[in-house]
Amino acid sequence: MTQETMIRPFDPNGIERGADGIARYRDRPRTVIEMLRTTVERGPQTEAVVEIGGPSVTYQQLWDRAACVAGGLHAAGISAGDRVAIRLANGVDWVVAFFGGLMAGAVIVPVNTRFAEQEVAYVVEDAGARFVFRPGEALPDGSPFVLETGAPDDLAALFYTSGTTGFPKGAMMTHLNFLSNTESARRVVGLPTDGRELRNLVSVPLFHVTGCNSQLLPTSELGGTTVIMPAFDVQTFLRAIRDARINVLTSVPAVYWFAMQQPNFNDFDMRGVRWLGYGGAPIAPALVHQIMERFPNARVGNGFGLTETSSISTYLPHAYAVEHAESVGFAAPVVDLDVLEPDPESGVGELLVRGPNVVGGYWNKPQATAEAFVNGWLHTGDLGRIDSMGLTHIVDRKKDMINRGGENVYCVEVENALAAHPAVFEVAVVGVADAMMGEKVGAVVVPVPGRVLEPAEIVAFARAHLADFKVPQYVVVRRELLPRNPGGKVLKPLLRTQTEWGRPVR
């Protein structure tokens, strides 16, 4: 199948390709604030943001409160281009601070609320933040002020990467990046252009691009309601779906599995959920089937992206969700994909991404920027392949690939295979140092609650589904959940230091 005949399931209208080769959406707002103003004018009394167990605001109230925050920042000497950091927990105040900072012309720096103080200090200092929104402190307040002279290419935010290796890096996000992702989110999920009936539950952190860029902002542009959980709790999650009349959900596969295992799950009517997205971890076809059965009216889909792509790069829509569960889907409408130096046999190489959603580089990191952003293409560090249909398959992180005596073993491929075992809840695969082979394959498995798993059972299952050199030789079964960052990625360096591998499994 040629590039021209690959399946392209998303709306292609209103897109033009520039002289630089990058495709862009036409007729988009110039800035996030222009986008919000349009929504306010269209439905000022529509409920904009609801905090579970807390306050709610209409779009007019959100605009007015944010403008007063901007006025307070302006009076405090914050001007266009100054960085302001948000250390607040999920909630209405976070959203008001975000829009208020942008109204002041500032660059928003969302801070991971799970960071230790030393890590927070690094982010605030690296960004050169001149103001910090802190928990327990009142938001700035002043005469309403809105700076509306911004341009699409103006720097709008620094989203710091999760720092799975080394110090986090500030991805420099423009208004164009934000608004390109917002439109992609609408198109790939299939949300209506008139979104006043949308009620989107944010159960992930707003300091992460999934919560902010692919939930809060698309819902805000479409005029729907963003319902925010201050912290995740599975019973609160279930009650919110029912009580807040949620029809849009996004989370990691484990959350859906955990929710569906609750003894009282059937007490909650899930027929109102119409769009359900997942990502961030492998998902077994059986779990996709189960989600479809338990959320019977939902169109499901698997999303993939990075902080550096402002969130969405690819999406696997409902029609392909079961048959191609191992794939992360097709390129978003304005996204170009390529594979660097693909292996002649497997087609696997480093995944490259180009598009208006790709950030301009890393703040204060010229060398890292030069290494990752080359001739308009982002070198993602993910190893993958693109099949003849145009489906993208992520097989590993470049730094996580296991070299077993000269044979390349892709961790994600092994994880996908093991995740299909009915008693496996979570699994992570890493390299285990070996004097003769260099590395051998190790798997850390978390069983389904109430189930007993033996390492030998995992190895036998792997042998039935994988080539012999990919079968884990070390298997550790643990009851604790795998350590993850707020974006859902397993912290493999931490896992390696925590795990005592013992003897190889025969």
Contact, 48 vs 98, CB < 8 A? no
Q: pLDDT band for position 180 (50/70/90)?
A: very high
pLDDT band per the 50, 70, 90 thresholds, residue 436: low
**Is a pLDDT exceeding 60 seen at residue 464?**
yes
| β-strand partners of 438 | 434
Share of the chain above pLDDT 70, in %: 97
* E-strand stretches of 345-391: 349-354, 373-374, 377-386
| Per-residue confidence band for 397, with pLDDT thresholds at 50, 70 and 90 | confident
Q: What was the pLDDT predicted at 19? A: 96
* Residues found in the chain: 506
- Averaged pLDDT, 338-361: 96
The answer to whether residue 334 scores a pLDDT higher than 60 is yes
**Mean pLDDT throughout 377-405?**
89
Assign 362 a pLDDT band (cuts: 50, 70, 90): very high
Would you say residue 5 has pLDDT above 70? Answer: no
Those residues whose C-beta lies under 8 Å from the C-beta of residue 56, and which sit 6 or more positions away, are: 47, 49, 50, 92
Query: Is the pLDDT at 90 greater than 80, yes or no?
Result: yes
Give pLDDT, residue 332: 98
The region of weakest confidence among 185-189, 213-217, 412-416, 424-428 is: 412-416
pLDDT in tens, 33-57: 999 999 999 999 999 999 999 999 9
- For the chain, what percent of residues have pLDDT higher than 90? 79
Q: What is the pLDDT of residue 1?
A: 38
Confidence of residue 227 (pLDDT cuts 50, 70, 90): very high
Closest to 50 in 3D by CA, of 193, 201, 196: 201
Average pLDDT score over the chain: 93
Cβ atoms < 10 Å from Cβ of 343: 12
Per-residue confidence (pLDDT) for residue 403, from 0 to 100: 80
pLDDT of 295 above 90: yes
Say what the pTM is: 0.86
Model confidence band, residue 410 (pLDDT cutoffs 50, 70, 90) = confident
Predicted local distance difference test score (pLDDT) of residue 2: 45
Q: Which domains does the chain have, with CATH numbers?
A: 3-8+28-395 (3.40.50.12780), 400-498 (3.30.300.30)
What is the structure's pLDDT at 164? Answer: 47
Average pLDDT of the residues in 177-186 = 98
pLDDT at 116: 75
> What integer pLDDT is reported at residue 286 of this predicted model?
86
Neighbours of 440 (CB within 10 A): 20
Residue 487: the pLDDT is 64
Tokens 């949308």: give the residue. Answer: 198
pLDDT at 486: 67
- Strongest mean pLDDT among 186-200, 269-283, 468-482: 186-200
Give the span between the Cα atoms of 188 and 322, in whole angstroms.
Answer: 17
